[in-house]
Amino acid sequence: MKTAELRQKDVAALQSEVKELQKAHFGLRMQKATQQLNNTATLRATRRDIARAKTILAQKQAQEAGKSSPAKE
């Protein structure tokens, strides 16, 4: 998934995207364990997609926390 697509999503959508990617990664790992996975590069791609989504999620959460905190004087 492209970074631009992830940045357009809100926090809740990003959290659900991370969960969905983690489930997909688990399924791929099980396929690899049972020797049913032909393209092992998909493991790396999903792992990187998870990291990308988590990074953007953390940035959005920090941005929201910054907006909600009172200004220091």
pLDDT digits 0-9 by tens, 16-49: 999 999 999 999 999 999 999 999 999 999 999 9
* Domain-located, residue 19: yes
* Domain-located, residue 72: no
* Domain-located, residue 44: yes
Query: What's the CATH number where 10 sits?
Result: 1.10.287
Q: Is residue 59 predicted with pLDDT exceeding 90?
A: yes
Structurally, the chain folds into a number of domains equal to 1
Query: Average per-residue pLDDT in the chain?
Result: 91
pLDDT-derived band at 68 (thresholds 50, 70, 90) equals: confident
Residues 6+ apart with CB under 8 A from 17: 1, 6, 9, 53
Q: Is residue 72 predicted with pLDDT exceeding 80?
A: no
* Domain-located, residue 71: no
Provide the residue range defining the domain that includes 33: 3-65
* Domain-located, residue 47: yes
Least confident of 4-8, 13-17, 69-73: 69-73
